[in-house]
């Protein structure tokens, strides 16, 4: 049976897709990129905003319209928060809530009578990660969150914190590395809360991975800037742990952060950033910012803007606040007009672009080991443009001959210019 997997939303959804892909293959099924060629389609939905929920519904309808013969399974946050609605959508054969995600493949094969004898008893040869065009993989290590930020519906949808055992994570990473994966990204709803239910913490997990695997590059997904273990910062002295963190700030105003029920004040956030940058040169800090949170005054906005500018970020994901039914923020007074939110969003986008450019320029002239991707752009003549990422997550481009390949290789590269959307690079000691 051919299975097509589709996701909306966060990296955690992406990681779950990878896990399902491998589980379907171990059950004797194959993964296909073409939804129209599949007998089974699984959608991992999102509901982080009302717009995301709407897009989830649209995707389900479109998938069924394009391939009405395929069995359709829907999971994820939209399907969990709106289970009856999702089940009633035309073409949906099975809804699997977030609490049952670990059994999605088993439930699908059993309840839809699709179970077959595995075609082989060993690891599948056609690995899903490569058929989906990846040299890196997301590894889910944790789910759920014990906190309730007032704007967030995901913690309601995901439930209590549950951490995977250290050995299970290590075994998965070793299996991925054996398949040719060179970089893994640890993900979770509240990654910093890893181990809260196991009696250990995120530092313990990272140390175990660095000790018991030989994966060349380990990267962390989005990490809330609180409850970080005491020895967390020194872990980055190991060059296998990539010097890039996505730390969601959400606002640079302490009074807004209080209304958001965030557990990190601006002073504490600045201290974390300062520690990282003091220890590791060119450490890349990226973040999330919500613009136009309920009650955000002009003074609070200016405080937020100034703190963001003072901190400096390599990249900002900017979200214009939209009311989300089921969250406390939706009930707060003084909701802002769309005009004010749009104006502030435009201001922040301009600042974010300036900061990103400044960070890129700071890195010009440096040499980094770049992991080159499989994706490339053909150029005129017998040349091609290839792309890869530095340890601090700068996208790099280089031009090589058509008969040369750098795919999935890590090669020292000198950054020589800032181009449109990426850094121009010059590969050192190139071996085709």
pLDDT tens digits, 370-399? 999 877 788 888 899 999 999 999 999 999
pTM surpassing 0.85? no
Q: Which long-range contacts (CB under 8 A, 24 or more apart) does 267-274 make?
A: 268/225, 268/226, 269/225, 269/311, 270/307, 270/311, 272/225, 272/228, 272/247, 273/247, 273/311
Q: What is residue 116's predicted lDDT score, i.e. its pLDDT?
A: 43
- Can you give the pLDDT at residue 325? 83
Tokens of 198: 């196991």
Which token pair is 106?
Answer: 């088993």
Summary mean pLDDT of the chain = 89
Residue 133: pLDDT over 50 = no
Token digits of residue 52? 């995301």
CB 73 within 8 A of CB 41: yes
Q: Is 329 left (phi over 0), alpha (psi -120 to 50) or beta?
A: alpha
pLDDT > 90? residue 136: no
Q: How many Cβ atoms from other residues are within 10 Å of residue 220's Cβ?
A: 22
Q: Which of 202, 220, 203, 196 shows the shortest CA–CA distance to 15?
A: 220
Predicted pLDDT at 430: 61
Q: What is the pLDDT, as a whole number, of residue 378?
A: 86
The whole-number pLDDT of residue 124 equals: 33
- Across 16-166, the runs of DSSP E, i.e. the strands, are 30-31, 40-45, 71-76, 92-96, 136-140, 142-143, 162-163
CB within 8 Å of 348: residues ≥ 6 apart? 289, 291, 305, 308, 316, 318
352-361 confidence digits (pLDDT tens): 999 999 999 9
pLDDT at 129 (0 to 100):
40
End-to-end CA distance of the chain, in Å?
A: 38
pLDDT-derived band at 15, boundaries 50, 70, 90: confident
Beta carbons within 10 angstroms of residue 200's beta carbon: 17
The pLDDT, as a whole number, for residue 174 is: 97
DSSP conformational letter for 193: G
What integer pLDDT is reported at residue 114 of this predicted model? 66
Residue 431's pLDDT is 54
Summarize the confidence of residues 252-281 as an average pLDDT. Answer: 95
Please name the residues in contact with 266: beta carbons below 8 A apart, sequence gap of 6 or more. 252, 253, 254, 257, 307
d(CA 71, CA 78): 19
Residues with Cβ within 8 Å of 17's Cβ and at least 6 positions away in sequence, in order, are 5, 7, 44
Distances (CA, A) of 363 to 273, 357, 414: 18, 10, 10
Beta strands 162-163 and 142-143: pairing type? antiparallel
Position 164 pLDDT exceeds 60:
yes
Beta strands in 34-161 (DSSP E): 40-45, 71-76, 92-96, 136-140, 142-143
Mean pLDDT of 306-330: 92
Look at residue 126 and tell me whether its pLDDT is greater than 60: no
């Amino acid at each position: 049976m051919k299975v097509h997997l589709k996701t909306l939303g966060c990296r955690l959804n992406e990681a779950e897709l990878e896990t399902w892909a491998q589980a379907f293959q171990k059950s004797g099924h194959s993964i296909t990129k073409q939804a129209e060629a599949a007998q089974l389609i699984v959608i991992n939905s999102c509901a982080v905003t009302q717009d995301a929920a709407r897009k989830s519904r649209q995707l389900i309808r479109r998938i069924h319209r394009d391939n009405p013969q395929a069995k359709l399974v829907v999971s994820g946050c939209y399907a969990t928060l709106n289970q009856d609605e999702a089940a009633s959508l035309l073409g949906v054969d099975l809804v699997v809530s977030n609490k049952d995600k670990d059994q999605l493949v088993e439930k699908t094969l059993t309840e839809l009578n699709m179970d077959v004898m595995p075609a082989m008893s060993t690891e599948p040869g056609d690995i899903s990660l490569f058929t989906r065009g990846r040299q890196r993989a997301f590894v889910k290590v944790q789910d759920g969150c014990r906190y309730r930020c007032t704007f967030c519906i995901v913690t309601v949808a995901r439930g209590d914190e549950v951490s995977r055992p250290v050995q299970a994570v290590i075994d998965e990473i070793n299996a991925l590395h054996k398949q040719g994966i060179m970089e893994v990204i640890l993900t979770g709803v509240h990654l910093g809360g890893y181990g809260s239910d196991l009696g250990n913490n995120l530092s313990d997990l990272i140390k175990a991975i660095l000790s018991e695997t030989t994966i060349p590059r380990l990267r962390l997904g989005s990490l809330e800037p609180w409850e970080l273990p005491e020895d967390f910062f020194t872990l980055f002295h190991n060059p296998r742990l990539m010097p890039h963190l996505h730390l969601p700030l959400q606002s640079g105003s302490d009074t807004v952060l209080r209304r958001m029920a965030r557990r990190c004040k601006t002073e504490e956030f600045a201290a974390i950033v300062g520690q990282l940058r003091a220890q590791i040169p060119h450490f890349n800090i990226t973040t999330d910012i919500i613009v136009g949170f309920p009650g955000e005054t002009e003074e609070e906005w200016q405080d937020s803007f100034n703190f963001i500018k003072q901190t400096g970020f390599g990249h900002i994901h900017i979200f214009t606040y939209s009311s989300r039914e089921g969250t406390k923020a939706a009930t707060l007074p003084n909701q802002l007009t769309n005009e004010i939110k749009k104006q502030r969003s435009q201001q922040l986008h301009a600042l974010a672009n300036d900061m990103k450019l400044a960070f890129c320029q700071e890195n010009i002239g440096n040499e980094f080991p770049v992991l080159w991707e499989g994706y490339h752009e053909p150029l005129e003549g017998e040349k091609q443009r290839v792309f890869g990422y530095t340890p601090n997550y700068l996208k790099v481009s280089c031009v090589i001959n058509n008969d040369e390949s750098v795919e999935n290789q890590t090669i020292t590269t000198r950054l020589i210019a800032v181009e449109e959307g990426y850094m121009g690079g010059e590969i050192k000691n190139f071996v085709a």
